[in-house]
């Protein structure tokens, strides 16, 4: 799929499973700092708590200890504001303790939670800019919190509009969205650039993909996206199942 749309790699493919020793080292560091603690709470225990995009706001039940045999590991937060300036959406701030609560970095089943894994992986790969959908904006304060605890540099962030269907739902596998068409890559790329506020000139309509990418790279201006959160995308960009 990515090859068919002209994407190129500038290094070897990294597999998250290979980073587990680094994840474990980061978790050990958080415990050593006193920034993480065992939590035996279940989802049922948190059913009555206020809910945000990240789930129930954790009330700190296990901060003073737990007798549970099976535990997750949570990172301790406070209400000092986490502030960052998103390149597209402007200044963002979050008081984690009251808006999110202490959050899980190691699950009860032994799997490393997304928030920690992405922070460590980005650090290992030397990531300096993160561009992703605005639906992940609410995760960013947690990730910056971890970066600060682990003494990692904080990358720049740009949260771009989310593509939606005619029903207003985000186009994603979890919502049953169809995959992008493999044929007619040039047409689809044209529409994608138009969605990003960068409509290509008609002279490139039949040009090879590398020419379109060269034009888009030179013409790119992130300011075209500022303040946008979601937009509808034509359904004809997507292929029917089994096509």
d(C-alpha 128, C-alpha 13), whole Å: 18
- 7: pLDDT strictly greater than 60: yes
Burial of 126 (0-12, 13-18, 19+ CB in 10 A): exposed
What is the token pair recorded at 128?
């300096």
What pLDDT, in 10s, does the model give residues 139-184?
999 999 999 999 999 999 999 888 777 777 777 766 677 777 777 7
Helix (H) or strand (E) holding 230: strand 230-232
What pLDDT, in 10s, does the model give residues 35-47?
999 999 998 999 8
Residue 119: per-residue pLDDT: 98
Contact 40, 66 (CB under 8 A): yes
Identify the CA nearest to 138 among candidates 181, 86, 208. 86
Identify the CA nearest to 180 among candidates 225, 233, 220, 136. 233
Task: For the chain, give every residue range classified as CATH 3.40.50.620.
Answer: 16-160
pLDDT class of 230 with cuts at 50, 70, 90: low
- 109: pLDDT strictly greater than 70: yes
In CATH terms, the superfamily for domain 16-160 is HUPs (3.40.50.620)
d(C-alpha 241, C-alpha 178), whole Å: 7
What pLDDT, in 10s, does the model give residues 47-102?
899 898 888 999 999 999 999 999 999 999 999 999 999 999 999 999 999 999 99
């Amino acid at each position: 799929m990515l090859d068919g749309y002209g994407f190129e790699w500038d290094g070897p493919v990294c597999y998250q499973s290979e980073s587990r020793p680094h994840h474990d080292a980061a978790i050990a560091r958080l415990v050593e700092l006193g920034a993480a603690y065992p939590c035996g709470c279940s989802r049922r225990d948190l059913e009555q708590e206020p809910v945000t995009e990240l789930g129930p706001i954790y009330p700190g039940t296990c901060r003073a200890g737990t007798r549970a045999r099976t535990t997750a590991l949570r990172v301790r937060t406070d209400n000092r504001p986490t502030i960052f300036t998103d390149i597209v959406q402007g200044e963002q701030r979050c008081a984690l303790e009251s808006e999110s609560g202490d959050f899980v970095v190691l699950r009860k089943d032994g799997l490393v939670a997304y928030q920690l894994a992405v922070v460590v992986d980005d650090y290992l790969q030397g990531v300096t800019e993160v561009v992703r959908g605005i639906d992940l904006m609410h995760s960013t304060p947690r990730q910056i919190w971890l970066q600060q605890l682990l003494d990692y540099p904080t990358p720049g962030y740009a949260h771009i509009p989310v593509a939606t269907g005619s029903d207003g739902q985000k186009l994603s596998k979890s919502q049953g969205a169809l995959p992008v068409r493999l044929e007619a890559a040039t047409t689809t790329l044209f529409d994608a650039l138009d969605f990003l506020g960068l409509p290509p000139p008609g002279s490139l309509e039949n040009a090879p993909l590398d020419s379109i990418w060269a034009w888009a790279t030179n013409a790119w201006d992130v300011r075209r996206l500022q303040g946008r959160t979601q937009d509808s995308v034509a359904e004809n960009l997507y292929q029917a199942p089994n096509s």
